[in-house]
Amino acid sequence: MALTDTDRDLINRCLRREAGAWREFVDRFLPLFAHVIHHSAQARSIPLQNSDVEDLCSDVLIAITENDFAVLKRFRGKASLAAYLVVVARRVVVREMIKRRMSEAFGHVRSNHVNSGQNTDAIEPVAPTEVRRIEHQEVIEKILSGLPARDADVVRKYHMEGSSYQEISREVGIPLNSIGPILSRALERMRHRYAST
């Protein structure tokens, strides 16, 4: 579906910073962003609290408004605005989820959040041995150096491509229960490397 006149008008009003345009944009697309967040989290076995969804929605909205609405300026109208925003939102959400997991893996943030006075595991994967994803490519490249080809492929697919354990098992042709140990060993190599520098 191509860009509709209504969407084109909304984009133009946002770019001109007309009163009420941004509020209309947010009211219209916030439920779509929440859906993308829930779907992305479910695909990666990441439980979410309401506060996580709110934070990630904010991250998406900030990304759209950055650099004077550069995201909207880049839109060429070859698809619907909603379809374009789904792609934008998914990229932001996956990046932020990976960033949080990397911070937790290196002990920079706690994985427990407080909700209604109770501690819950907010971003713990379903499998307790699942390794948290690492975002920064230069860190991943350091991990990959010196790894056997199969192990490097597993690390690359998990941390860079965002593949699930099931997808990696199927694509690489290794047992599901061997993926966690491979990723754990790679992460331990990285921790030792940082500790020695």
In this structure, is residue 54 part of a structural domain?
Answer: yes
- 148 and 73 belong to one structural domain: no
Calpha distance 78→90 (Å, rounded): 19
Of 120, 148, 174, which closes a domain?
120
In this structure, is residue 131 part of a structural domain?
Answer: no
CATH code at 179?
A: 1.10.10.10
- Cα angle 1, 62, 115 (rounded to 5 degrees) comes to 105
Of 68, 93, 120, which closes a domain?
120
Helices and strands, counts by H and E, the chain: 8, 2
pTM of the model: 0.55
- 108 and 143 belong to one structural domain: no
Three-state DSSP at 110 gives coil
In this structure, is residue 159 part of a structural domain?
Answer: yes
Residue 180 and residue 169 in contact, taking contact as beta carbons nearer than 8 Å: no
In this structure, is residue 29 part of a structural domain?
Answer: yes
- 78 and 20 belong to one structural domain: yes
In this structure, is residue 105 part of a structural domain?
Answer: yes
- 116 and 25 belong to one structural domain: yes
- 103 and 66 belong to one structural domain: yes
In this structure, is residue 130 part of a structural domain?
Answer: no
- State pLDDT tens for residues 140-196: 666 677 778 888 888 878 766 777 888 888 999 999 888 888 877 777 766 665 444
Calpha distance 99→185 (Å, rounded): 20
- How many domains are contained in the chain? 2
CATH code at 37?
A: 1.10.1740.10
In this structure, is residue 169 part of a structural domain?
Answer: yes
- 107 and 155 belong to one structural domain: no
Q: Residue 87: its pLDDT value, please?
A: 92
Range of the domain at 76: 5-120
Crossing angle between the packed helical segments 21-43 and 50-74, to the nearest 10 degrees: 120
- 99 and 58 belong to one structural domain: yes
- 42 and 91 belong to one structural domain: yes
- 26 and 91 belong to one structural domain: yes
Residue 133 and residue 102 in contact, taking contact as beta carbons nearer than 8 Å: yes
Calpha distance 54→21 (Å, rounded): 21
Of 64, 93, 120, which closes a domain?
120
In this structure, is residue 129 part of a structural domain?
Answer: no
Q: Residue 108: its pLDDT value, please?
A: 44
List the chain residues with pLDDT less than 50. Answer: 107-131, 133, 135, 194-197
